[in-house]
Amino acid sequence: MPLSLQVETGIVAVLTRKRRSAAWREVPLPPWLMAELDSHFEIAKAQRDPLLSYKRLWPHHRVTGWSIIKDIMMVSQIAGRAACPRGFRHSFGVGTLQSGVPLNMVQRWLGHSRMSMTAIYTAACGPEDVAFMRRYWQASDLDRRPDEQTAA
């Protein structure tokens, strides 16, 4: 609903019912996405209308959204454990941490009640890991394919 979006600040408020009581979680959106949503759904205008401000932006149920995401992933040839909405969530958690976002902010965005849950995302290979491995591969000649090594 339009009231869940703060166009000026780029924040969406998401209602979560995973815990015993409902809670609102605020998550920042990229500026371009908020602009697209505002343009398409006329959010700022709808927020000023008492009837439109509570109207759903799209008619789909969350299960339908899950199905649409699965179909898109299949067409995109994304397979395995990552091929689900939870895979997006995990990618978001890992990506934000690898970009230097503080752990407590990621915890809040993901809605974790305990920091230890968010800390699990720090175990993923970060850019530093990849850089060190590249240096190792180059130093040990493991970065070339076997057919390239025989030709050299």
Can you give the pLDDT at residue 47? 86
**Whether pLDDT at 4 is above 70:** yes
> Residues 109, 24, 4, 59: is their CA dihedral positive or negative?
positive
Can you give the pLDDT at residue 135? 74
Percentage with pLDDT > 90 across the chain: 0
What own/partner pairs with CB < 8 Å and gap ≥ 24 does 42-50 have? 43/2, 43/5, 43/7, 44/7, 46/2, 47/2, 47/3, 47/5, 47/7
DSSP label of 99: T
The pTM for the full model equals: 0.58
- Estimate to the nearest angstrom the gap between the alpha carbon of 152 and the chain centroid: 43
Average pLDDT of the chain is 79
Domain boundaries in the chain? 1-59
What confidence tens digit (pLDDT) does each residue in 126-149 have? Answer: 666 667 667 776 776 655 555 665
Percentage with pLDDT > 70 across the chain: 80
Can you give the pLDDT at residue 144? 57
d(CA 23, CA 2) in angstroms, rounded, equals 18
Average pLDDT over residues 8-29: 78
What confidence tens digit (pLDDT) does each residue in 26-76 have? Answer: 888 888 888 888 988 888 888 888 888 888 888 888 788 888 888 888 888
3-state secondary structure of 48: coil
d(CA 114, CA 106) in angstroms, rounded, equals 11
3 neighbors 53 (Cβ within 8 angstroms): yes
